[in-house]
Amino acid sequence: MKKLFTILLFITFLHSITFAQLKTSSSVGARYVAPMGTVSDFYDSGWGMTGTSYFSVTPLIDIIVEGSWHTLMGKELAFEDQIYGAEDLSVLGFTAGARLNLLGMVGLGVKGGYFFDDIHEWAIQPFAEVSLLMFSLGAEYRKGEDVDWAAVYLSVNF
């Protein structure tokens, strides 16, 4: 029992030292999402929300972990005098990636992750953002197996 307690205490101590060495920050953001490719035939633009954690490995490189929710509004389609409506598309996602910090204000990076709810697919997301004070303004492109979109976002950093 003493050995187990000692091992757990050591792991907890090691974990706290590791994260104490990393500079961490977080952000919460909202985004405007525009469907691209064939997805735009069935869905109009929508919006999304994200929560992001940043772990600074060096002053130039951050590791990113993000959770997100997006929705695209279904279009009404006319076919042979009938109107059909597509349901709204709801997408949850978890991504991870890296960001290169330039001049302390500009970030360029790429994230990859899994998206699910109404779709189930892996996707990659290159992005660029500019940060000033506690706000970040950015743009990203999501390339998935079936669903692609471009997004513009504003986030609050803390």
The predicted-structure confidence for 4-63, as pLDDT tens digits, reads as follows 566 555 556 544 555 556 788 889 999 999 999 988 888 999 999 999 989 898 889 999
Identify residue 36 by its one-letter amino acid code: M
The predicted pLDDT at position 59 comes to 87
Q: Which residue has the tokens 């772990």?
A: 55
Q: Tens digits of per-residue pLDDT, 97-130?
A: 999 999 889 999 999 999 988 889 999 999 999 9
Count of residues making up the chain? 158
Q: Which CATH class, in words, describes the domain spanning 23-157?
A: mainly beta
DSSP states of 48-113? EEEEEEEEESSSSEEEEEEEEEEEEEEPEEEETTEEEEPPPEEEEEEEEEEEEEETTTEEEEEEEE
pLDDT, residue 155, reads: 96
Q: Which three-class secondary structure state does DSSP give residue 114? A: strand
Distance (Å, rounded) from C-alpha 96 to C-alpha 113?
6
Q: Look at residue 33 in the predicted model and tell me its pLDDT.
A: 97
Model confidence at 145: pLDDT above 60: yes
Among 44, 93, 32, 43, which residue's Cα sits nearest to residue 65?
93
- Residue 157 pLDDT class (50, 70, 90 cuts): very high
CB 1 within 8 A of CB 9: no
Break the chain into its structural domains and give their ranges: 23-157
Instruction: Give the model confidence (pLDDT) of 48-70 as tens digits.
Output: 999 998 989 888 999 999 999 99
Give 118's DSSP letter.
Answer: S
